[in-house]
């Protein structure tokens, strides 16, 4: 009895249709491919400010920079010669120090306060409260039940600390926020010396790690989806050895490639679209948006992005800057520790090599006989050739008798070089590994807060940059008529009491003045009733 495969059955039941794009659609795809190749060319270049690679023979590309940052964080030893008797030592200083940065940054995550102003530049308390509640609701339900905005923010901060740059895409699906982290490898832009992503001439996201069935769930209702067949990925990226492994953990025959493209609408065209009623009058900017899946264009060539805010839906933030702060990509914590780590690990590897070769020294025999190497296994008896004497075996001349104090002093000096290259431990807010007075502990804690606050500002900048578009899109897709009531518990009321603050969205059409007064009296009586009951 065979078990049916619903996924395979879905593919088999589909009737393949040939995709024949119109002239404007064909031109759109070719232009997108050209822009992608141009963007990819500058992304694959080696940049001096990224520093040399681990071999020291060449400058690093962005991909090498990210790979080495992740390798340093994971403390993975490099690929080595199998004949090397010692695996290169890899310390955990980058990982541990990075974690000490990540943890307080995540703790710093808070919802930004929202203050709404009307056309007279006066604070609108109702809209301010509404915006705050809707923003909290959006983050709390971002990805539920499997996730939420808090757990996702930890992922975003982790990426920003380890790789130096993080991209977050914020979409509104069925009225709810759906944010996702965009791997840096998927982002393609035309200008690496324009740090503001919103000022880029275009934005391309190339997503490869997607199965056909995920795509069917997301794009299945689009008419052109019927032309998409899994596995038929065009040669955009996968033939380039510089790009990371695309099919890690996903079968090629079940994969699709999703290419999202955003372009700004020119100002002259924006006026034309507003004039013919395509766009609303209050819109200040707009973007063209399209998706190419396995070479199939999903929307018409002149399709507009549905969000009225007009920003790219992907927000970017850097943790630290390189020597040129106008560089689009950011520096990572692990990269800053990299040179100290290499210096320290190099000395540690030499000492481990010397210790190992002293513990298991290579031997010479003088009678021409061979003794198997298994003699190094404890407790194992190995037969020696008849007539062999102990003096027939000798240690290879020049082999040390172990690690001495002078060599350990050199290792301590290597660690001292690292300490001298950074602020003092107390100034940096680190544990000095000695007894401290209460005042010294307070000073160290204050120094920690000062250092962390500078990094926390970058996290706050990311949250604030996302907040305006999220609120704008929530109000766009959650119009007031669909919300009957907003309830905010534990609010300070005008009379100084703490209670639930309710905002009721209800329009009483045709109500006379007397009826409005009566309605107000009824609401006042209801308030008095709750005051007496203490509710």
Phi-psi region of 288 (alpha: psi -120 to 50; beta: other; left: phi over 0): beta
Q: Going edge to edge, which strands form the sheet with 165-173?
A: 176-182, 165-173, 314-318
Q: How confident is the model at residue 464 (pLDDT cuts 50, 70, 90)?
A: confident
Kindly state the percentage of the chain with pLDDT values over 70. Answer: 70
Q: Is the pLDDT of residue 287 over 80?
A: yes
Which span out of 23-27, 67-71, 274-278 was modeled with the highest average pLDDT? 23-27
Q: Is the pLDDT of residue 454 over 80?
A: no
pTM here? 0.75
Total number of residues shown for the chain? 535
Strands 363-365 and 498-504: unpaired
Mean pLDDT computed over 231-242:
50
Q: Could you give the count of Cα atoms lying within 13 Å of 118 in the half-sphere of its Cβ?
A: 7
Mean pLDDT computed over 54-59:
80
Tell me whether the omega of the peptide bond preceding residue 9 falls within 30 degrees of 0, making it cis.
no
Q: How confident is the model at residue 145 (pLDDT cuts 50, 70, 90)?
A: confident
Report the distance separating Cα 284 and Cα 266, nearest Å.
Answer: 11
Ranges assigned E (strand) in 366-440? 393-395
DSSP tag of 113: P
Q: Are 335 and 256 in contact (CB under 8 A)?
A: no
Report the distance separating Cα 290 and Cα 204, nearest Å.
Answer: 10
Per-residue pLDDT tens for 87-112?
777 777 666 777 777 877 776 666 66
Per-residue pLDDT tens for 388-422?
777 777 777 777 677 878 778 877 877 776 666 55
pLDDT confidence of residue 27: 92
pLDDT confidence of residue 267: 87
User: By mean pLDDT, which of 10-24, 306-320, 335-349 is the weakest?
Assistant: 10-24
Element containing residue 180 per DSSP (H, E): strand 176-182
DSSP tag of 434: S
| Alpha carbon distance, N-terminus to C-terminus of the chain | 64
Q: How confident is the model at residue 244 (pLDDT cuts 50, 70, 90)?
A: very low
Report the distance separating Cα 385 and Cα 368, nearest Å.
Answer: 10
Report the distance separating Cα 18 and Cα 239, nearest Å.
Answer: 25
Q: Are 143 and 173 in contact (CB under 8 A)?
A: no
Task: Render 263-325 in DSSP notation, one character per residue.
Answer: EEPPHHHHHHHHHTTSS-TT----EEEEEEETTEE-S-TTPBPS-TT-S-SEEEEESB--SST
Per-residue pLDDT tens for 186-205?
999 999 999 999 999 999 99
Q: Count of CB atoms within 10 A of residue 152's CB?
A: 18
Strands 176-182 and 393-395: unpaired
Q: How confident is the model at residue 40 (pLDDT cuts 50, 70, 90)?
A: very high
Q: What is the CA radius of gyration of the chain?
A: 32
Report the distance separating Cα 342 and Cα 90, nearest Å.
Answer: 8
Phi, psi for 258 (deg, rounded to 5): -110, 120
Report the distance separating Cα 194 and Cα 518, nearest Å.
Answer: 60
Q: Is the pLDDT of residue 327 over 50?
A: yes
Please give the mean pLDDT across all residues of the chain. Answer: 78
């Amino acid at each position: 009895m065979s078990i049916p495969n619903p996924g395979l059955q879905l593919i088999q039941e589909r009737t393949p249709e040939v995709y024949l794009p119109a002239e404007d659609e064909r031109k759109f795809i070719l232009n997108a491919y050209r822009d992608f190749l141009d963007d990819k060319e500058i992304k694959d270049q080696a940049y001096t400010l990224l520093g040399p690679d681990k071999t020291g023979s060449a400058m690093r590309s962005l991909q090498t920079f990210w790979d080495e940052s992740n390798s340093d964080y994971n403390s993975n030893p490099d690929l080595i010669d199998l004949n090397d008797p010692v695996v290169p030592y890899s310390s955990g200083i980058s990982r541990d120090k990075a974690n000490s940065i990540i943890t307080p940054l995540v703790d710093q995550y808070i919802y930004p306060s929202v203050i709404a102003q009307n056309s007279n530049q006066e604070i609108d308390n109702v809209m301010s409260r509404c915006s705050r509640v809707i923003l909290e609701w959006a983050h709390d339900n971002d990805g539920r039940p499997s996730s939420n905005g808090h757990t996702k923010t930890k992922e975003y901060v982790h990426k920003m600390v380890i790789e130096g740059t993080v991209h977050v895409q914020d979409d509104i699906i069925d009225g709810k926020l759906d944010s996702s982290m965009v791997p840096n490898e998927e982002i393609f832009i035309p200008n690496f010396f324009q740090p503001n992503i919103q000022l880029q001439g275009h934005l391309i996201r190339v997503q490869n790690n997607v199965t056909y069935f995920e795509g069917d769930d997301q794009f299945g209702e689009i008419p052109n989806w019927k032309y998409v067949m899994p596995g038929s990925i065009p040669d955009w990226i996968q033939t380039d050895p510089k790009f990371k492994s695309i099919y890690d953990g996903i079968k090629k025959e079940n994969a699709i490639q999703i290419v999202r493209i955003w372009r700004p609408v020119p100002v002259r065209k924006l006026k034309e679209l507003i004039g013919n009623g395509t766009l609303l009058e209050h819109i200040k900017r707009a973007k063209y948006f399209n998706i190419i899946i396995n070479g199939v264009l999903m929307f018409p060539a002149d399709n507009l992005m549905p969000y009225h805010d007009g920003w790219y839906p992907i927000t970017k933030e850097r943790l630290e800057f390189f020597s040129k702060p106008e560089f689009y990509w950011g520096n990572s914590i692990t990269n800053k520790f990299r040179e100290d780590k290499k210096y320290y690990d190099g000395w540690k590897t030499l000492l481990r090599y010397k210790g190992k070769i002293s513990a298991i020294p290579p031997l010479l025999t003088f009678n021409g006989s061979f003794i198997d190497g298994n003699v190094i296994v404890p407790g194992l008896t190995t037969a020696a050739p008849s007539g062999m004497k102990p003096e027939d075996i000798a240690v290879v001349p020049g082999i040390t008798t172990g690690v001495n104090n002078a060599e350990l002093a050199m290792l301590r000096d290597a660690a001292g070089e690292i300490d001298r290259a950074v602020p003092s431990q107390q100034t940096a807010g680190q544990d000095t590994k000695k007894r401290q007075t209460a005042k010294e502990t307070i000073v160290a804690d204050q120094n920690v807060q000062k250092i962390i606050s500078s990094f926390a500002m970058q996290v706050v900048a990311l949250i604030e940059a996302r907040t305006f578009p999220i609120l704008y899109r929530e109000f766009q897709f959650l119009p007031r008529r669909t919300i009957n009531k907003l309830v905010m518990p534990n609010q300070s009321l005008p009379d100084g009491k703490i209670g639930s603050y309710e905002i009721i969205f209800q329009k009483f059409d045709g109500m006379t003045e007397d009826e409005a007064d009566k309605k107000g009296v009824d609401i006042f009586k209801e308030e008095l009733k709750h005051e007496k009951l203490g509710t």
